[in-house]
Structure 1
Amino acid sequence: DEIYVLLDLLLQQHYLARCSASFSENFYSLKRIPTRGCAQPPLAAAGLPKRQHWKSLLLLVLVPYLKGKLEKLVSSLREEDEYSIHPPSSSWKRFYKAFLAAYPFVNMTWEGWFLIQQLCYILGKAQHHSPLLRLAGVRLVRLTAEDIQALEKKSSGATSSQTHSIKTQVQSAVRKALGGIAFSLSTGLSVSVFFLQFLDWWYSSENQETIKSLTALPTPPPPVHLDHGAGSVLLPKLKTVCPLCRKIRVNATALSTSGFVFCYRCAYSYVKTHQCCPITGYATELQHLVKLYSPES
């Protein structure tokens, strides 16, 4: 994720500095202009003011990154809440219970804010289709013929009129490197879109029969059950002992894939890490853990 964010940062920085627009906005011939303080829209080649430039860059890159990280955190917390054992009075459990309960409302408010902003934009009541543009202090307009000419002159002039100082050469090399990275990313995006469309066609319902005939393989035999006798090093002699921790089982839990019984914590930790039964090696997921209750409980 961090490598992707770094590449996205370089890409958006290049396009904001060169075209006053993000990569996708430039693709659709759009540019960003300050919302206030300009009677006439500046040319795209002039770039944004520093304040709007850095705010746009952070909102383009940082906000999606943080939102994705938050969603992953919520997903992991929900998984822990579903399968882990916590004391009822645990302060940590109360904290993340409150966090998990509040997150859907926070997310609904966030998405509702975007929806209301888009509706206002469609009805002509707002200048921005996204709240992030409003926070950045910019709005989107179409590129004009003057903008296109200025961008062409800027790209051609950058290569022709250069002094031979070391500082200028370094700056030129950095610009060329950023331009090459941006071009590679844009080309890779186009190829990726084509590849995704090809996969969509390949796996469409019309081609399912052809795919099945091409990829049909004989059904593999069922897995061979491992023979663990009473003297096996993996199985303790006492049936009340957990095969993993070699102690008396606590919160006995069976794996529905193999039938072997372990401590809940031992089975949960092992299956979460290895995704298999520790005795038979059969593929196992957390939902295959079955809690056992003795007649006395």
Structure 2
Amino acid sequence: MAERGAHLTAASAIEDRPSIFEVVAQDSLMSAVRPALQHVAKILAESNPSCYSFLWCWFDEIYTLLDLLLQHHFLTRCSASFSENFYGLKRITLGDSRKLQQLASAGLPKKQHWKSLLLLVLVPYLKTKLEKLVSSLREEDEYSIHPSSSAWKRFYKAFLAAYPFANMAWEGWFLSQQLCYILGKAQHHSPLLGLAGVRLVRLTAEDIQALEQKLGKATSSRQPAHSIKERVSSAVKKALGGIAFSLSSSLSVGVFFLQFLDWWYSTENQENIKSLTALPTPPPPIHLEHGIRSPLLPTLKTVCPLCRKLRANDTVLSTSGFVFCYRCVYAYVKNHQKCPITGYATELQHLVKLYSPES
């Protein structure tokens, strides 16, 4: 009985501490949002390249900007990121006891607020860019036109050899932190929380009541701004707040659908989506349907549309079917990620070498 009483006392002392399942679930929520939105951007870019190709080319930057507005909104209003607030969690500074905790509606101190915002938004952005760089370097290593003895090729081969070990150390750092959190040896499950100087706790009834009151006051109070500077500042704040609120509302409504997408983009399904056989057959260009030649196409069929010279090392784009010189189309696709003629979204793995009977 004494052991049971001691266990209950210890449990009540840390009842505000979320379980490992809660913190891991809120981490996986935002990781499911990016591939879903990226898939939407790809569909729009393929359906109308002239209007929506920028969404595909600048997706990382657009997503990061929207994520910045969303996370800033929730950190200011709820002392938590979007996913943390969705699971009923909030951030408090390290070392705060239960009695000294501020309400979630009060927000984080400025130092912890900006550290949290940068780590929530900047670290995923840089990690995504690094992964894309590694992927492009691997493709360049496979399809490269650089001589094997060049200094650049030696450098990125050394980088590609070192990257798996650096990535393993990064993931191991997070795994060891989670194990320490499970065993009760750490206050936070992620090293990023430690770098921000915060930890996660559950929302209390007082927090929920204060958040509801704050939301009610924000919607009811509309004080007129007197000076032009105040009016402009108020308009900017309202616009940014409206964008963040729209994002949070749409994400909250679609969160269960995004969980389905998380399954859809896992392992086997993702490999099928990435395979060339899963790519839809694009419709023929309009100028070919009506017998009108595009000015981008040369008169002779043996001439490359890019350099306007006789093709050397014929290479076809599997996304559109047009044939180019390998050097020309390799450089173009690497820089623009689209077909030079049709504008279809294209990657380096879509280059297919053609072999003539003479070769």
TM-score, length of structure 2 as denominator length: 0.58
CA distance in 2, matches of 1:16, 1:192: 21
Q: Go from structure 1 to structure 2 and tell me whether the alpha carbon gap of 1:152 and 1:170 turns closer, same or farther (over 3 Å shift).
A: farther
Alignment of 1:289 onto 2:353: yes
Q: Secondary structure at the match of 2:188?
A: coil
CA distance in 1, matches of 2:81, 2:169: 26
Indicate if the aligned counterparts of 2:90 and 2:203 stay in contact, CA closer than 8 A. yes
Q: Go from structure 1 to structure 2 and tell me whether the alpha carbon gap of 1:2 and 1:233 turns closer, same or farther (over 3 Å shift).
A: closer
What displacement does 1:41 show? 1.1
CA distance in 2, matches of 1:201, 1:85: 38
Q: Secondary structure at the match of 1:166?
A: coil
Alignment of 1:17 onto 2:76: yes
Amino acid at match of 2:62: I
Partner of 2:195: 135
Amino acid at match of 1:116: S
Q: Among residues 121, 139, 151, which one is paired with 1:79 in the alignment?
A: 139
What displacement does 1:134 show? 0.5
CA distance in 1, matches of 2:324, 2:236: 59
Partner of 2:185: 125
Cα deviation digits, residues 44-82 of structure 1 (max 9, x gap): 121111110000000001110111111111111111111
CA distance in 2, matches of 1:199, 1:35: 35
Amino acid at match of 1:13: H
Partner of 1:41: 101
Q: Go from structure 1 to structure 2 and tell me whether the alpha carbon gap of 1:197 and 1:32 turns closer, same or farther (over 3 Å shift).
A: closer
Q: Among residues 50, 53, 57, which one is paired with 2:117 in the alignment?
A: 57
**Match runs of 1:126-165 below 5 Å:** 126-160=186-220, 163-165=223-225
What displacement does 1:125 show? 1.0
Indicate if the aligned counterparts of 2:139 and 2:349 stay in contact, CA closer than 8 A. no
Unmatched 5+ stretches in structure 1: 203-231, 277-283
Higher relative helix content:
2
Indicate if the aligned counterparts of 2:225 and 2:234 stay in contact, CA closer than 8 A. no
Indicate if the aligned counterparts of 1:275 and 1:285 stay in contact, CA closer than 8 A. no
CA distance in 2, matches of 1:178, 1:132: 26
What displacement does 1:183 show? 2.6
Q: Which moved more, 1:121-130 or 1:175-184?
A: 175-184
Partner of 1:224: none
CA distance in 1, matches of 2:236, 2:133: 36
What displacement does 1:274 show? 7.0
Partner of 1:100: 160
Q: Go from structure 1 to structure 2 and tell me whether the alpha carbon gap of 1:186 and 1:290 turns closer, same or farther (over 3 Å shift).
A: same
What displacement does 1:179 show? 3.4
What displacement does 1:165 show? 3.7
Q: Go from structure 1 to structure 2 and tell me whether the alpha carbon gap of 1:169 and 1:44 turns closer, same or farther (over 3 Å shift).
A: farther
Q: Secondary structure at the match of 2:189?
A: coil
Partner of 1:234: 300
What is the RMSD computed on CA atoms of the aligned residues? 4.1
- Runs of at least 4 residues off by over 6 Å: 197-202, 241-245, 270-276
Partner of 1:5: 64
CA distance in 1, matches of 2:220, 2:84: 28
Q: Go from structure 1 to structure 2 and tell me whether the alpha carbon gap of 1:142 and 1:48 turns closer, same or farther (over 3 Å shift).
A: same
Compare relative contact order (CA 8 Å, sep 6+) and give the higher one, 1 or 2.
Answer: 2
Amino acid at match of 1:60: L
Q: Go from structure 1 to structure 2 and tell me whether the alpha carbon gap of 1:58 and 1:97 turns closer, same or farther (over 3 Å shift).
A: same
Indicate if the aligned counterparts of 2:103 and 2:207 stay in contact, CA closer than 8 A. yes
> Quick check: which has more Rg, 1 or 2?
1
CA distance in 1, matches of 2:301, 2:222: 76
CA distance in 1, matches of 2:163, 2:66: 29
Indicate if the aligned counterparts of 1:19 and 1:44 stay in contact, CA closer than 8 A. yes
Q: Go from structure 1 to structure 2 and tell me whether the alpha carbon gap of 1:149 and 1:192 turns closer, same or farther (over 3 Å shift).
A: closer
CA distance in 2, matches of 1:285, 1:83: 9
Amino acid at match of 2:173: W
Q: Secondary structure at the match of 1:288?
A: strand
Q: Which moved more, 1:18-27 or 1:146-155?
A: 146-155
Partner of 1:88: 148
Identity over the aligned pairs, expressed in percent?
A: 71
Amino acid at match of 1:186: S
Indicate if the aligned counterparts of 1:253 and 1:290 stay in contact, CA closer than 8 A. yes
Q: How many residues align?
A: 252
Q: Go from structure 1 to structure 2 and tell me whether the alpha carbon gap of 1:157 and 1:97 turns closer, same or farther (over 3 Å shift).
A: same
CA distance in 1, matches of 2:180, 2:225: 52
Amino acid at match of 1:126: A
